[in-house]
Structure formats: C-alpha cells, structure tokens
Amino acid sequence: MEALIRLERVEKVFQVRRKAGRLRSVRSEVRAVDGISFDIARGEMVGYIGPNGAGKSTTIKMLTGILVPSGGRLRVAGIDPARERTRLARRIGVVFGQRTTLWWDLPLRDSYELVRRMYRIPDDRYARNLARCVELLDLGALLDAPVRQLSLGQRMRGDIAAALLHDPEVLYLDEPTIGLDVVSKAKVRGFLRDLNTERGTTVLLTTHDLTDIEQLCTRVMVIDHGRLVHDGDLGGLHAVGDSERTLVVDFERELPPVRIAGARPVKVEGPRQWLAFPASASAAPLVAELTARYPLVDLSVREPVIEDVIARMYADRAAL
C-alpha cells in the first residue's frame, strides 16, 4: 500500500544570525532536520520523540506546509504540503501543545462554528463530531468561555476537538499532553486511542512523556540532532538504548550497598537504596532474592524515563 506520509531525505536548514560583539553579527546554519526518511501508513499511530531541539516540531511544521523543506521530498496524502498548503489543510488536523489554533478572544463555541464554516463541514457531520468531542473530552461546561479564559488543560482539549471536527485523515500532535494533569492526560490518551482504532485516523505525536508513547503507539521514531536514530517498536527502543529500570528498596535499617546478581547499586540514601537492572530483564527474581536475604519495608520499580533511554542511546552511538 502507498504510504500516507512519505519523507525522503528531508532537510531543513535555518540561517541564523548571532550577535558577535556590539554591532557585528555572524551568520551560521542550524540543520534542524538533517536528511530524514520514513513512511507512515494509513491508520498508524506513531510516536515521534527526541531531546529538546532535536527537530520534532520542525518536522511537523514541514508536514503541515508551515515550513518549506530545504531539501528532499515530502508527501502527505500525495500532496506536497508547502506547495498546496490550503488543499492539504482540509485533510489534516494539527494540535500545537504550545499554542492554540483557536481564536483567542472568541468563545469556544464560536471558534468551532467558524471552523465548521471554514472547512465547509456538513451540518449533520458537524453536529455528530462536536457532540462526540464534547462528551469524550468533557467540554460541555467550557463552550461559552472565551479561549483566553481556559486553563492550559481545558484549552488543549478544546484544541484537539477543533482539529477533528472536519474528520481529518491525519492528526499531528506536537506535545499534546504538555502541562496536563493526570486526569486530563488519561482523558486525552483514551480519546486518541479511540480515534485511531475506531476511525482509523493516522496519528503522529511528539511528546516528552514516555507514558504517552507506551499507552498509545505501536511504533516510535527517535530523532536527535535532526537525524532519525530509531524507528521501530518501544521494546526495540529499550533494547537499542540498552536501558535500565530501577528498583527502589526501603530496608528496615541502613545497610552497606547490597550486591546481588543481575543488578548494580546506583545510590544509597539512609535505609533506601537504588538498584539498576536491564529493562529487558524481569524484576521478579531480583525481588525474590532481596526479600530472602534482607529485611524489607517497601519496594518499587521505576521505569526508565525517555531522556535516560535517549541519553543512553547517544552514549552508545558515540562509543561506536
């Protein structure tokens, strides 16, 4: 099947000027996206992660037509985004976690009404989609408030709804869970999962919250310094990154760093100790051994955080 989104050696180079001294400035280049290629098939839900400044937002901006690539070839639903931006706009939905696409001073309801007319959404479809979003994203009480009065989490939910009223084939989300509380995050994730499984909407999302990826995406792409360094499932990422989980153990009293096979002591703080073990290994045998040999009060397992995974990937890549 032809890919819905296809990037071939796509590049984006920014010319930037930096101050050098009082009046002089020097020009330099930032290769924000440095030759990226990938395909996304219809119906996929893909996580796009990487450290700050990796080039995630820049990629999304090229996929929407906001930015023109400096090189390479890029197609979304067969359309060259930069060339036919407005035609593409009818077929995609975009949510920027950092800023709203709604009209700041208009009530949410008026913003949606404007979206309806701008996208020429048939009345019945609009009514259906809006009702669904209002219910699932819990927007009922917010419809009459101007967007500027909404809290960050409320605004984000409002934005997600606005991006979906016209039934886009592709939804891009740039940090959709940034700053959301636990309840809102769960709501948004549940909503996106349904959208993907029930409607088959293709979703590309960037995030710094690995839980988003774990709960939503079967495929994850990692970008750093504008280059794609991983494209596969999340398990594969842990394997590639050689990442570790951490066992946090509270003993009854202070002990010297414990030594057991398959784990290495990382930190000791009074009676609490941190033990790292490979993410691919099971925690069960370690827990069994610890409980058999030491007096325990409490114990928990910490999943690796995305930054650690990526940091490790880079340490490994640099060592190659």
Ligand X SMILES: Nc1ncnc2c1ncn2[C@@H]1O[C@H](COP(=O)(O)OP(=O)(O)OP(=O)(O)O)[C@@H](O)[C@H]1O
Residues lying near another protein in the complex (CB under 8 A)? 14, 53, 57, 61, 64-67, 85-87, 89-90, 92, 94, 96, 98-101, 103, 105-107, 110, 113-114, 117-119
Closest to another protein by CB, 98 vs 259, is 98
Q: Which residues contact 46 (CB under 8 A, 6 or more apart)?
A: 40, 203, 204, 205, 217, 219, 220, 221
Task: Look at residue 100 and give the partner it binds from another protein, Mg ion, ligand X, none, a contact being a CB closer than 5 to 8 Å depending on partner kind.
Answer: another protein
- Whole-number Å distance between alpha carbons of 286 and 153: 40
CB atoms within 10 A of CB 16: 11
Of Mg ion, another protein, ligand X, none, which one does residue 55 interact with (CB within 5 to 8 Å by kind)? Answer: ligand X
> Which among Mg ion, ligand X, another protein, none contacts residue 125 (Cβ within 5 to 8 A by kind)?
none
Q: Which two tokens stand for residue 121?
A: 């959404």
Question: Which has the closest alpha carbon to 220: 229, 210, 232, 212?
Answer: 232
Question: Which of the listed partners (ligand X, another protein, Mg ion, none) does 228 bind, with a CB threshold of 5 to 8 Å by partner kind?
Answer: none
Which partner from the list Mg ion, another protein, ligand X, none does 96 bind, CB cut-off 5 to 8 Å by kind? another protein
CA nearest to 7, candidates 34, 27, 36, 28 = 36
Rg (CA), the chain: 23
In a 10 Å sphere around its CB, with 0-12 CB exposed, 13-18 middle and 19+ buried, how is residue 90 labelled?
Answer: middle
Question: Could you report how far apart the first and last alpha carbons of the chain are, in Å?
Answer: 36
Q: Are 156 and 176 in contact (CB under 8 A)?
A: yes
* Contact call for residue 65 and ligand X (CB under 6 A): no
Q: Which residue lies nearer to another protein by CB, 153 or 168?
A: 168
Which of Mg ion, ligand X, another protein, none sits in contact with 54, Cβ below 5 to 8 A by type?
A: ligand X
User: What residue type is assigned to position 69 of the chain?
Assistant: P
Binding letters toward ligand X, positions 91-110, x by CB under 6 A: --------------------
Q: Is 14 among the residues that bind ligand X (CB under 6 A)? A: yes
Residue 82 binds ligand X (CB under 6 A)? no
Q: Verify binding: residue 177, Mg ion, rule CB under 5 A.
A: no
Residues 24-53 that bind ligand X (CB under 6 A): 30, 32, 50, 52-53
Q: And the tokens for 296?
A: 């325990």
The residue whose two tokens read 């606005």 is: 162
Residue 57 lies near Mg ion (rule: CB under 5 A): yes
Q: Are strands 264-269 and 227-232 parallel, antiparallel or unpaired?
A: unpaired
54 scored as a contact of ligand X (CB under 6 A) = yes
Name the minimum Å distance from CB 223 to ligand X: 7
| CB-CB contact of 58 with 43 (8 Å) | no
Q: Is 154 in the site for ligand X (CB under 6 A)?
A: no
Q: Identify what 107 binds: ligand X, another protein, Mg ion, none; CB under 5 to 8 Å per kind.
A: another protein
CB-nearer residue toward another protein: 89 or 228: 89
Minimum separation from the CB atom of position 225 to ligand X (A): 9
Exposed e or buried b for every residue in 117-137, given b needs 16+ CB within 10 A?
eeeebeeeebeebbebbbebb
Written as one letter, the residue type at 187 is K
Minimum CB separation of residue 166 from ligand X in Å reads: 25
Instruction: Return the range that interacts with ligand X (CB under 6 A); candidates 56-64, 82-90, 254-262, 292-300.
Output: 56-64
Where does this chain bind Mg ion (CB under 5 A)? 57
